[in-house]
Structure 1
């Protein structure tokens, strides 16, 4: 009986929304402490001509998907009960065609999936614990529970890829760069195919590598793959994953000392694909003016990234003055005497202003008025450096960069302006996918 476990972090794309789709632009992605988890086990082979892969999520009304694997590449992946889960299905299909197991030598596989509380709105869920972990269990199926926008699909795909790959590649080591790149490439293919399009990939990259400065790969790498039912698919997939240089950047980063990220869930998720489609239509219709607007957004993005770098340098070069700056932020004093803080705030203001313009003109709710009001009010709280609607925007959670000593929940308690916000217990996490201890997922009560 094989038994291994893996987890991968959620993410917040602080700057780079929409521009991240173009390989020329940099983005800043913070990995978060809320993680997706997968525990995999395999029964002994029984010399049958097929085997079953079961993916189970007991957190969500006992959701379960059963895939029968038979034959040889290209593998036919069929869900026995007709239940749809495109992300799970594509991971199974990609892994089978990459690893090409022999059904007669492969026992049934069970993957149990868990997600940390930050991924979904609390609702009427019940918190259950054991000595090591705690998860929220919901009465509804996973499709009916609102998401907070932390990248649950990217995290799910990454841990499923890691778990299934570990069955067919027992030497898999998620601390080795070569194996991480393999997990990344397989996860990007599965995630893009499940979405029906090639996305920017920043969410999968953060799930694999942690907090990163990211520039995307060429989408044609995945677009040029043969259809999954083609006899050439498995060979082309292996060549793409193992032999091709994807030429994407994933430089590890961290927020400056004394700062952390806090997310505020407004319990009303958004459909990123619809937002992206509206923005693309607006961009094409308004070109080249839209390019000028994107360049202004990029200037703000670059200024933000440079400002964060200056803060990190400031903390090392003048630690006492740096601590004074943090205290000024915490007290709500005139912290704008610090040019670095002014630079970061002005950079984010510039980005937000242009996205509000695109919101007005495209009909895509990147920063809708209710989020504008919430962010502007948040900037008046003690200890807040800046804030934004991360990623593609919309009605997902807002992100604030705050000092370690700030207490945002206490400041906003009983304040009607924040009555719709649930502050999520999150922190930055620099580690991407990592191996866990299987026994830590036993018996939640």
Structure 2
């Protein structure tokens, strides 16, 4: 919502041009336009919340699907002391800083979609969970660092497997489509049975590796939750 409002206002005021390629304007949005919207939206988010978050939600809203690496929190330091500063000065300071966030193009492989399951009991309290996890990190830094490292490695493995599947879909579309559609109707234990040639075997192997990475991610998330005393990834959810 914040990113949408900021983008609409900046476009209306002429600070950026966010015209779509199908509209009458001959000029479409540039990377610089998106970067400007991103900087202002992150600033607005910080001022509204009174703290500097990860910023991934704002980044996703501005740039779309990608792999995100957070910016240095110091970039938004002036937005946290706005009480004694003039807002235009704060904005000028933020937009002229060198933003060091990273955004690498990323999307799910073809024929795959991301589903969100709502248990029907309402969402969890993110601030409370974050507070508990931070408290655990302080009380047991070695275990926390080890768990965080393993989680990061599992995330990277999953990313690589999904990228591999995307590449396989480009190189061997017919085999890819056949395997994915067949596997979608079977339990994972029977996936290897659908492969009838080398290309299909590679696709099935990558699907199974992605599944293993998902399970490892959920394992480390559960370990973190148990250690912090919060239900981040309860057994019933997995």
Give TM-score scaled by structure 2 length. Answer: 0.83
Do the aligned partners of 1:359 and 1:365 also contact (CA within 8 Å) in 2? Answer: yes
Give the drift of 1:176.
2.2
C-alpha spacing 1:171/1:245, structure 2 compared with 1 (3 Å): closer
The equivalent of 1:307 in structure 2 is: 161
Do the aligned partners of 1:226 and 1:236 also contact (CA within 8 Å) in 2? Answer: no
Output the CA distance in 2 between the equivalents of 1:206 and 1:226: 23
Tell me how many residue pairs correspond in the alignment.
Answer: 215
The equivalent of 1:215 in structure 2 is: 69
SS at match of 1:263: coil
Output the CA distance in 1 between the equivalents of 2:170 and 2:30: 30
Specify every segment of 5 or more residues in structure 2 that has no aligned partner in the other structure, as ranges.
19-28, 193-200
The equivalent of 1:160 in structure 2 is: 5
C-alpha spacing 1:329/1:250, structure 2 compared with 1 (3 Å): same
The equivalent of 2:223 in structure 1 is: 357
C-alpha spacing 1:162/1:315, structure 2 compared with 1 (3 Å): same
TM-align CA RMSD:
1.9
Give the drift of 1:318.
2.0
- 1:172 aligned onto 2:16: yes
The equivalent of 1:348 in structure 2 is: 214
Which structure is higher in helix share? 2
- Report which structure shows greater RCO (CA 8 Å, sep ≥6): 1
Do the aligned partners of 2:66 and 2:105 also contact (CA within 8 Å) in 1? Answer: yes
Output the CA distance in 1 between the equivalents of 2:78 and 2:14: 30
Q: Aligned runs of 1:104-183 on 2, under 5 Å? A: 156-167=1-12, 169-170=13-14, 172-174=16-18, 175-183=29-37
The equivalent of 2:191 in structure 1 is: 335
Give the drift of 1:180.
1.3
The equivalent of 2:116 in structure 1 is: 263
The equivalent of 1:297 in structure 2 is: 151
C-alpha spacing 1:234/1:223, structure 2 compared with 1 (3 Å): same
Give the drift of 1:364.
2.1
Give the drift of 1:330.
2.4
Specify every segment of 5 or more residues in structure 1 that has no aligned partner in the other structure, as ranges.
1-155, 373-445
